[in-house]
Amino acid sequence: MDYKNWYAISVQSNKEQTCTAEMLSRKSVFMDTFLEDVTFLTRKEIEYKKDGRRLVKNKKLMPGYVLVKVKPEYVEDETGAKKKVFPPTTFDLITRTNGVQSFVNCDKKNPIPMRPSEVKKMFDMCDEAHLEVKQNIQSDFYVGDTLEVVSGPFKGYDIEVMSISG
């Protein structure tokens, strides 16, 4: 995955998913946009209930922020040198989306991209958490383990794991 040209956008509280969906729909309508990808990062966390049940919930990694990947536009100046700029049409498309407040790290109408190392670290946090949850679900119990029943009519009894399905 390419971690260059990602920008952080501040959005209204609990509007990450709707802003992401609206920007993606606008991307499909306006074909001349330089918008490549829009995402808000989540990670899966395990929550244990009092009765021993395990729930897997999606937690927002950066509440109130959405990440967008934008291809730079190359403009030729008077000397003939090509200069990389943020596309103005894409800037308007993003900032006029309902719920979007502003770009993080923006100099007038020229947003500054995040460092690739920062973006990689954030995406890795999401992926590692997902893999950790998947690993915990698959390897908590093994055939032959002895477990104690914590609820129901057999509460307090010890049982042996005969098989695992999943």
**What are the pLDDT digits (tens) for 62-103?**
899 999 999 888 888 888 888 888 888 888 888 889 999 999
Q: What mean pLDDT is predicted for residues 116-122?
A: 90
pLDDT for 67 equals 92
* SS3 at position 83: strand
Strand partners, 70: 35
- Greater confidence (47 vs 15) lies with 15
- The size of the chain, in residues, is 166
* SS3 at position 127: helix
Pure H helices in 80-115: 88-95
State the virtual CA torsion across 20, 43, 65, 95 in degrees, nearest 10.
-20
- Say what angle helices 16-29 and 88-95 make with each other, to 10 degrees: 140
Q: What mean pLDDT is predicted for residues 99-125?
A: 88
pLDDT for 29 equals 75
pLDDT band for position 127 (50/70/90)? low
Q: Is the pLDDT of residue 31 over 80?
A: no
pLDDT for 133 equals 41
pLDDT band for position 11 (50/70/90)? very high
Q: Which run of H or of E encompasses 132? A: helix 116-139
Q: What mean pLDDT is predicted for residues 155-159?
A: 87
Backbone angles phi, psi at 148, to 5 degrees: -100, 130
Q: Which run of H or of E encompasses 26? A: helix 16-29
Q: What mean pLDDT is predicted for residues 26-35?
A: 74
Q: What mean pLDDT is predicted for residues 100-111?
A: 86
pLDDT for 165 equals 63
Backbone angles phi, psi at 46, to 5 degrees: -95, 130
